[in-house]
Amino acid sequence: MSKALDGVRILDFTHVQSGPTCTQLLAWFGADVIKVERAGAGDITREQLRDIPDVDSLYFTMLNHNKRSVTIDTKNPEGKQVLEALIQTCDVLVENFAPGALDRMGFTWERIQELNPRMIVASVKGFGPGPYEDCKVYENVAQCVGGAASTTGFDDGPPVVTGAQIGDSGTGLHLALGIVTALYQRTHTGRGQRVLAAMQDGVLNLCRVKLRDQQRLERTGVMKEYPQYPNGEFGEAVPRAGNASGGGQPGWILKCKGWETDPNAYIYFITQAPVWAKICNVIGKEEWATHPDYATPAARLPHLKDIFAEIERWTMTKTKFEAMQILNKYDIPCGPILSMKEIAEEPSLRKTGTIVEVDHPTRGKYLTVGNPIKLSDSPTEVTRSPLLGEHTDEVMAELGYSTEQISALRTAGAI
Ligand code: COA
Which one-letter amino acid corresponds to residue 53?
Answer: P
Ligand 1 atom nearest residue 73's Cα: 1
Ligand 1 atom nearest residue 75's Cα: 2
Which one-letter amino acid corresponds to residue 285?
Answer: K
Q: How confident is the model at residue 40 (pLDDT cuts 50, 70, 90)?
A: confident
| pLDDT digit string, tens, across residues 131-171 | 999 999 999 999 999 999 999 999 999 999 999 999 999 99
Q: What are the counts of helices (DSSP H) followed by strands (DSSP E) for the chain?
A: 17, 11
| pLDDT digit string, tens, across residues 185-199 | 999 999 999 999 999
Q: Which of 1-5, 180-184, 326-330 has the lowest mean pLDDT?
A: 1-5
Rounded distance, CA 13 to CA 299, Å? 56
Q: Bridge-partner residues for 27, per DSSP?
A: none
Pick from 13, 22, 46, 97 the residue to mutate for probing ligand 1's pocket: most ligand atoms within 8 Å of its CB: 97
pLDDT at 187: 98
* Atom 13 in ligand 1: residue holding the nearest Cα: 101
| pLDDT digit string, tens, across residues 63-87 | 999 999 999 999 999 999 999 999 9
> Within 6 Å (CB) of ligand 1, which residues are found?
16-19, 36-38, 72-75, 96-98, 101, 104-105, 124-126, 136-138, 168
Radius of gyration of the chain (CA): 26
From 12, 73, 168, 213, active-site residue: 168
Is 306 a known active-site residue? no
**Residue 247: is its pLDDT beyond 80?**
no
The DSSP bridge pattern shows strands 92-95 and 120-125 to be: parallel
Q: How confident is the model at residue 341 (pLDDT cuts 50, 70, 90)?
A: very high
* Cα 98 to middle of ligand 1, angstroms: 5
pLDDT (mean) for 292-301: 94
The answer to whether the beta carbons of residues 19 and 172 sit under 8 Å apart is yes
**Residue 1: is its pLDDT beyond 90?**
no
Rounded distance, CA 327 to CA 187, Å? 50
| pLDDT digit string, tens, across residues 402-411 | 999 999 999 9
Pick from 107, 136, 165 the residue to mutate for probing ligand 1's pocket: most ligand atoms within 8 Å of its CB: 136
* Cα 97 to middle of ligand 1, angstroms: 4
pLDDT at 150: 98
